[in-house]
Structure 1
Amino acid sequence: MLPKSGDHHTVPLSVLLKRESANEKIERPEISHGQASQSKKGEDFTFIKTECQRVLGDGVTTYSVFALFDGHNGSAAAIYSKENLLNNVLSAIPPDLSSDEWVLALPRALVAGFVKTDKEFQERAQTSGTTATFVIIEGWVLTAASVGDSRGVFESAEGAIYYLSADHRLECCEEERERITASGGEVGRLNTGGGTEIGPLRCWPGGLCLSRSIGDMDVGEFIVPVPYVKQIKISSSGGRLIISSDGVWDALSAETAFDCCRGMPADAAAAQIVKEAVHVKGLRDDTTCIVVDIQPPEKPEPPKPPSKKQGKRVFKSMFRKKHSESSSQVDKEEYSEPDVVEELFEEGSASLSERLDSKYPVCNMFKLFMCAVCQVEIKPGEGISIHAGTADPRKSRPWDGPFLCSSCQEKKEAMEGRRPSGASRYSSGSE
């Protein structure tokens, strides 16, 4: 869990979820959704799967998945990711975890699933690529993973906006540009001759504007599929999630997107956002939007702060202690201040070693004789620690897991610029 500033005190997510499940006043939210799109190239694809069932030791729980893939240089990578990414994420999670352990395991499982999807797609020797914004909602916990420049944004019922994805355009992040050049790529604008450079920063070879994606084997494996991951605990008053391709975000700010559809049901809201974006910029690119409303079960309409918030006070007390006033003082008030969204996890590093490190919760998530990325069985002594070859001797623990198979170790080295890029490993092909 991320540290919090000030005098607020956080509680481990596992404790929070156990308290929530034991409290009858806190119920699972109702989820409604809608999507809309206007197509220019036909390379945007969405994936929506609600009420996915997962068997626990003592019953069944459900979760929902909402994802958007914005393809480029063809649609093959977007289609492949739509069909395989969820299964690859789920395969990285042990089957015997409790509900709270499952949520804690998601950030590392998402990293493994993204890398596995990219690795398997590249073996098909097709040169297209795709962004991916992938959101899993389990109870009141929302976990988002993303590569590229599609975005996920959440607005709480109280009006606060939370950005759930990072923009992996080369223009936006100096650290990503330095990582690519250190790994063997070049970053620059399109040279039209005579020293004139135009357009956005691009990675060469290939001319891609993104630093992370799934696919794009013709550019180089320093364009990595390691996602930015953010996990938040939604307040009991709910909120609205928007997932859109850059066709929306090139035209609208997050505030404008939420404002233009306020009060509309999810399906109408998605259509309105796309309409507004096309009105501002014209249909220059595929423009796709998913809207997800996450609401308390007792409020079918878009939530508004009620005059009495006894249920909210119970929820709030689970994960925060206010230093300025006692619980008895709060009970005497007509209403308490709005709930807040709790940020539980955030990590954007491109290093696979850091992202799969066993320091994170659920340390025994990756099995000793199983590749942490592709989930193939590894014979004793054949697994390669993710720490092998680490430059920093303080972090070099070659005897410590998780472990990779030789193929995934090669993938890791390629992403770090320590072996020739994927373009030389796989033969070229067309879609």
Structure 2
Amino acid sequence: MGSRNERRHQNLVPLAALISREMRSEKVEKPTLRYGNAAQSRKGEDYFMIRTDCQRIQGNPSSTFSVFAIFDGHNGNAAAIYSKDHLLNHVLGALPRGLGRDEWLQALPRALVAGFVKTDKEFQSRGETSGTTVTFVIIDGWTVTVASVGDSRCILDTQGGAVSILTVDHRLEENVEERQRVTASGGEVGRLSIFGGAEVGPLRCWPGGLCLSRSIGDMDVGEFIVPIPYVKQVKLSSAGGRLIIASDGIWDALDSDMTAKSCRGLPAELAARQVVKEALRTRGLKDDTTCIVVDIIPPDNSPQPLPTPKKQNKLRALLFRKRSHDSANKLSKKLSAVGIVEELFEEGSAMLAERLGNDDSSSQSTTGLFICAVCQVDLAPSEGISVHAGSIFSMSSKPWQGPFLCADCRDKKDAMEGKRPSGVKVA
């Protein structure tokens, strides 16, 4: 262990050198962000976050990134408030120290998974039964990373006018894969039965009656309702684009194309108001309705109206297909030729072992102890349990290979995969 720890210390980079390297890597000018938000409340369970002053390296303005998020609570607002207050810190706490920008962006999807699971685990330990959807967006230069659970949504409207969804809706009614996962993990999926045996409403998970398959909180439903987010990371072209992040109060009234079209040509603040106004005009105020609009604008350029494309279907067909190993290079060339966006990462598996991957080195702390990949506590070698141990979904044939989990997080993982009944009880 000593030699491994010595190697780790040898690889540490002095802060001055790291800042110098960071500044050299920022040769391409960053875009300008313009943003606005609007909301109409019915239940008081929607919350949002806007942070434009985050820094990868404290004290280095060139390492600034921004965070935009919406938390749509249900069964009370406690889970939404807790996630708003703690999720960002948990995500940042799961990122290794001393990374350059490219390595930081590559590590971000895994850190988002760990941060979501830690937030859920901590909130459930409080004994409160509310839950929340989360759509969490990190913008660093031209790179946009989106993590989501539930049915809030983030869409991208490019300068070419093509509209793409950067999230996946985790509604049992529409998502066949999630229905299969929930039932395989021990949940029951069905509609609400009323007097006389008639079934009404959307598909729900029982016990609890939640119509979502992923959320943070919801301890009274069962831990097969998981907090593991779908994550997508894309790099925009220098033409920029517009992000529209909104709770389901918007998406139940408007589809993605209608939402983008309703506010084209408006500055971000007015665009957010217009989206909410259009949703209320279409459906009325039946739910909390929250919208954030973020314009990612080329440097020194004023926002330009987004034109309606003449060949929108062809452009949309090139965006965000699920890339196989055979077609990845071909699709990347097509996207580059069109000049719209490059997909860097996409993963939606609900299996923690798949999402945390394999790890030979970064699971060891500078003290020589191992650390839990989710809650970041120090572990003695005899305490850490590999995330792959005993998993039929393991990406590794070595159960002693990291990342490692503490006993509590291992129990959490087993419960999410249906390997044991949820041990969480309502206080």
TM-score by length of 2: 0.84
> C-alpha deviations, 1:125-164, integer Å up to 9, x for none?
0000000000000111000000000000011111122211
Does structure 1 conserve the Cα–Cα contact (< 8 Å) formed by 2:213 and 2:226?
yes
Give 1:134's match in structure 2, choosing from 129, 133, 136.
136
Partner of 1:388: 389
Alignment partners' CA distance in 2, 1:130 and 1:303: 34
Q: For 1:384, give the aligned amino acid.
A: I
Q: For 1:403, give the aligned amino acid.
A: F
Alignment partners' CA distance in 2, 1:144 and 1:235: 17
5 Å matches for 1:111-122?
A: 111-122=113-124
Larger CA deviation: 125-134 vs 252-261: 252-261
5 Å matches for 1:6-405?
A: 24=27, 26-55=28-57, 60-302=62-304, 338-358=338-358, 364-367=361-364, 369-391=370-392, 395-405=396-406
Structure 2 residue matching 1:193: 3-state secondary structure: coil
Q: Which runs of 5+ in 1 are unaligned?
A: 1-17, 306-318, 325-335
Alignment partners' CA distance in 2, 1:262 and 1:341: 19
Deviation at 1:420, TM superposition (A): 1.6
Q: How many residues align?
A: 381
Q: Measured at CA, do residues 410 and 19 of structure 1 come closer, stay the same or move farther in structure 2, by a change above 3 Å? A: closer
> C-alpha deviations, 1:316-339, integer Å up to 9, x for none?
xxx999989xxxxxxxxxxx9752
Q: For 1:367, give the aligned amino acid.
A: Q
Q: Measured at CA, do residues 394 and 22 of structure 1 come closer, stay the same or move farther in structure 2, by a change above 3 Å? A: closer
Deviation at 1:21, TM superposition (A): 6.2
Q: Which runs of 5+ in 2 are unaligned?
A: 1-20, 308-328
Does structure 2 conserve the Cα–Cα contact (< 8 Å) formed by 1:152 and 1:241?
yes
Does structure 1 conserve the Cα–Cα contact (< 8 Å) formed by 2:224 and 2:417?
yes
Alignment partners' CA distance in 1, 2:332 and 2:112: 34
Partner of 1:427: 426
Deviation at 1:340, TM superposition (A): 1.8
Q: Measured at CA, do residues 52 and 205 of structure 1 come closer, stay the same or move farther in structure 2, by a change above 3 Å? A: same
> C-alpha deviations, 1:42-89, integer Å up to 9, x for none?
000001100312218998411000000000000000000000000000
> C-alpha deviations, 1:238-279, integer Å up to 9, x for none?
000000000000010111111111111111000000000011
Alignment partners' CA distance in 2, 1:191 and 1:98: 55
Partner of 2:310: none
Q: Measured at CA, do residues 48 and 59 of structure 1 come closer, stay the same or move farther in structure 2, by a change above 3 Å? A: closer
Alignment partners' CA distance in 2, 1:393 and 1:22: 36
Q: For 1:117, give the aligned amino acid.
A: T
Partner of 1:408: 409
Does structure 2 conserve the Cα–Cα contact (< 8 Å) formed by 1:111 and 1:227?
yes
Of all paired residues, the percent bearing the same amino acid is 61
Does structure 1 conserve the Cα–Cα contact (< 8 Å) formed by 2:171 and 2:213?
yes
Does structure 1 conserve the Cα–Cα contact (< 8 Å) formed by 2:357 and 2:395?
no
CA RMSD of aligned residues (A): 2.5
> C-alpha deviations, 1:17-58, integer Å up to 9, x for none?
x9996685x310000110000000000000110031221899
Alignment partners' CA distance in 1, 2:228 and 2:386: 18
